[in-house]
Structure 1
Amino acid sequence: MRSRTSFSAATAFKQGTRRRTEPNWADLAVELKKPGVTLLILCEEYREAHPEGYGYSRFCELLRGFQQRLSPTMRQEHAAGDKVFVDYSGKKIPIVDRKSGEIREAEIFVAVLGASSYTFAEATWTQTLPDWIGSHVRMFRFFQGVPRLIILDNLKSGVSRASFYDPEIKRQLRHDGLSLWRRCSSARPKRPRDKSKVENGVRFAQSCILGRLRNQTFFSLAEANAAIARALDRINDHVMRRLGVSRRQLFESVERPTLAGLPLEDHEFAEWRLARVSTDYHVEFKTFFYSVPHSLIRQQVDLRATARTIEIFHRGKRIAAHQRRYGGPRHGTDPDHMPSSHRRYAEWTPERFRRWVASIGPQTQGLVVAILASRPHPEQGFRTCLGILRLFRDIDRNRAEVVSARAAEIGSLNCKSIASLIANHKAARHSTEPTAIVDHANLRGPDYFH
């Protein structure tokens, strides 16, 4: 009984008072986040300043105990520049349309750096892939760098199949200019410790952003994001009680120098699709058609579409690039992609045919205009016009004019009908010529009737 009492007292004394000089544990917790800094290095520096201080084991035990007393967002060890945790807030921000008064709710994207808890947030209309990637681009610009890894909360915009060991990142991200897919990893479903950093950041953002902005009315996404930016300044400049420094100070001193550099140009969202080359060596994207080399007919290709360009890849190699079409002709065709026989036809135009037949006469020119106008697309009448010109090479100009006038009159607008008209005109012309009278025994002369 006596020994149990003395043990409890000793334990209370040991936990309540410490005889040896202690370092500033908050400073050491910050130092431990810097690249290359280990507990052994920190302990050696501590013993150099305080030779009578704690040994390595006790030093580690006390530092770990201090870290456990921090907020949940600081419990996990995150090296500087290593991870950023991203998620959407479950709560949305209402935005009012000035004209109709209709209220539309916007999503709130939140990102928290692992080592410093430096926080980024913005409002977007949706959680779809274009908005999701756009938020990442703006997040990296806000951080002025890129961490090694992005931890996703299994959002469907970025993750097709959640797995801690082998998450399946959406195919579009594998082509992304920022190589997002190489940096993406997902948290395990129903494992809050995997994503405690962002979940705490989301809760903090909800209270500091939505709570403080609840009485304000926003009429545009830009207005909402301007207010969110002001709320972010409050969050990042707030001094964390146990560490004695703000998130911004911790970010500037510890994390920012370790981030990878940004590309020179902002990433432009691109939509990727699989497509199969049709028999006319074109691929379709949103009702418009773009050519590829004719040798790839029936091959499967990758199509990359941005707001300005359409790029087509085959086995990882770019084989075609076109300006994206939103109106006008539905086909974008590069002459170099055509077979040589098709390339000759591509140089034809209605105006060129009119110039060709003008030398024959106005009736023939009118026939060509009628043929081109009778087709849904003028190009469909080019071959007919070529066939007619070939038929007219064997007759004189006057006959061609007569045939053309007759063809236009009766609506004979194809090669077969015009060939028939040429033959009939030839037969009729021959029948009007006088023929010689032949002497024959059975023929009675004029004297017979006298």
Structure 2
Amino acid sequence: MTKYREILRLSSLGLSQQNIADSCNVSKKTVNRVLRRAKELDISWPLDESDTDAVLAEKFFPSANQVTSNKRMPDYAYIRKELLRNGVSKKLLWTEYMEECRANGDEPLMYSQFCYHIQQDEQKHRATMHINHKPGEQVEVDWAGDSATIIDSDTGEIIKAYIFVGVMTYSQYAYVEAFLDMKQNSWINAHVHMYEYFGGVARILVPDNCKTAVVHNGGWKDQRINETYQEMAEHYGTAIIPARVRAPKDKPNAEGTVGNISTWITAALRDEQFFSLAELNRAIRDKLELFNQRLFQKKEGSRRSLFLEEEKP
């Protein structure tokens, strides 16, 4: 059980939420939620001995058995979808829910109960929901670790081709293209072609810390965006937020999609021979379309359907 008493005690000592989370072995989000709820209920340290963690849990987040059967429950599917929209909060949805209950003569849940049930539903769908980013908000870009090859038709020389991967964070809809190098011109062209493929520009661009994106002066803590890359961002009206060094969670979809790309595109073409970059990219595009249309394993639809229905608009 969550250590409600200890969270309140440590907070009274002036510890940061992150320090409290580390001490109580819970997430910072949980600490924030408990402290916010305690403030709403005007509960603070010191507490009576009778206020055990179990008692506080019921005070803060009433269990489902306290909700009488005649109370109207939230429309979870509707709420999950609405929370992904810019500016929509649980408070707003609860207000609309209250108005609907009054109009239909239904008994509504209190705000704390409403939030409790929404949270329970979120936990059930956590494996399939994109709760960290809204549609169209962010695209992650990277060079894939595995390269492809082209054969020089005149000399027979095998030439490396480097694979650029861009993926929309929300839908995981991907763009892939091969280039003969990883220099600035190829990097910029890759983005131009990616935006053309997506038919739009995400608000935030998250690149890896490659030299064509980020310039390091005296170490990774002192970094700045490459000037040409910055000019491109200004042209498209997007913001560049580089992934932190040694922090792969900053671009988990690009990291994960790169692995899938290696399997479903690069590896799938391993036995084919290509004699020009254009020929290789035509084959990549065919595989890319199939990749984006592949059905998800743990939820309905595909990258393409999710992108077209919720992200591209």
* Corresponding residue number in structure 2 for 1:113: 168
**TM-score (norm: length of structure 1):** 0.47
Whether the 8 Å CA contact 2:205–2:238 is kept in 1: the answer is no
- Corresponding residue for 1:86? 141
How far 1:41 moved relative to its partner?
4.8
Q: Structure 1 residues 41, 219: CA separation in 2 closer, same or farther (over 3 Å shift)?
A: farther
- Find 2:123's aligned residue among 49, 65, 70: 65
Aligned to 1:263: none
Higher relative contact order (CA 8 A, sep 6+): 2
Alignment of 1:184-333 (within 5 A): 184-257=240-313
**CA–CA separation in structure 2 for the residues paired with 1:154 and 1:161:** 9
CA drift of 1:143 comes to 0.9
Aligned position for 1:343: none
Asked if structure 1 preserves the Cα contact closer than 8 Å seen for 2:86 and 2:134, the reply is yes
What is the DSSP-based 3-state SS (H/G/I as helix, E as strand, rest coil) of the residue aligned with 2:255?
A: helix
Aligned equivalents of 1:241, 1:175: Cα separation in 2: 39
Partner of 1:7: none
- CA distance in structure 2 between the aligned counterparts of 1:164 and 1:28, rounded to whole angstroms: 41
- Contact 1:85/1:150 (CA < 8 Å) preserved in 2? yes
Task: Decide whether aligned partners of structure 1 residues 216 and 33 sit closer, same or farther in structure 2, where only a CA change above 3 A counts.
Answer: farther
1:179 counterpart = 2:235? yes
Q: Which of 74, 84, 90 is 1:33 aligned to?
A: 84
Query: Closer, same or farther in 2 for the Cα pair 1:245/1:126, shift >3 Å?
Result: same
Superposition deviation, residue 209 in structure 1: 0.7
Q: Work out whether residues 233 and 240 of structure 2, in 8 Å CA contact, stay in contact via their aligned partners in 1.
A: no
The DSSP-based 3-state class of the residue aligned with 1:123 is strand
Asked if structure 2 preserves the Cα contact closer than 8 Å seen for 1:167 and 1:185, the reply is no
Matched pairs, number: 236
Give the alignment of 1:93-112 within 5 angstroms: 93-112=148-167
Q: 2:208 aligns with which of 144, 153, 163?
A: 153
Is the 8 Å Cα contact of residues 164 and 186 (structure 1) preserved in structure 2?
no
Q: Which amino acid aligns with 2:310?
A: V
CA–CA separation in structure 1 for the residues paired with 2:97 and 2:267:
43
**Displacement, 1:243?**
3.2
CA contact (8 A) 1:167 1:186 kept: no
> Quick check: 1:40–1:56 contact (8 Å CA) kept in 2?
no
The within-5 A match list for 1:116-131 is 116-131=171-186
The superposition leaves residues 347-406 of structure 1 with CA deviations (integer Å, 9 ceiling, x where unpaired) of xxxxxxxxxxxxxxxxxxxxxxxxxxxxxxxxxxxxxxxxxxxxxxxxxxxxxxxxxxxx
DSSP-derived class of the 2:258 partner = helix
Q: Tell me the CA shift for residue 227 of structure 1.
A: 1.3
Q: Is the 8 A contact 1:23 1:46 kept in 2?
A: no
The correspondence of residues 437-448 of structure 1 with structure 2, limited to 5 A, is none
Cα deviation, residue 24, structure 1: 6.0
Taking the aligned partners of 2:283 and 2:120, their CA distance within structure 1 comes to 42
In the alignment, residue 66 of structure 1 is paired with which amino acid?
Answer: K
SS of the residue aligned with 1:179? helix
TM-score by length of 2: 0.65
Give the distance between the partners of 1:177 and 1:145, measured in 2 at CA.
Answer: 13
- In structure 2, what is the Cα distance between the partners aligned to 1:233 and 1:207? 14
Q: Secondary structure at the match of 1:108?
A: strand
CA distance 1:24–1:249, change in 2 (3 Å): farther
State the shift of 1:246 in Å: 1.7
Name the % identity: 31
Contact residue 206 and residue 242 of structure 2 kept, 8 A: yes
Instruction: Give the corresponding residue for 1:286.
Output: none
In the alignment, the residues of structure 1 paired with residue 264 and residue 243 of structure 2 have an alpha-carbon distance, to the nearest angstrom, of 25
Q: Between Structure 1 and Structure 2, whose CA radius of gyration is higher?
A: 1
CA contact (8 A) 2:150 2:159 kept: yes
SS at match of 1:226: helix
Whole-angstrom distance in 2 between the partners of 1:62 and 1:238: 30
For residues 84 and 220 of structure 2, what CA distance do their matches in structure 1 show? 24
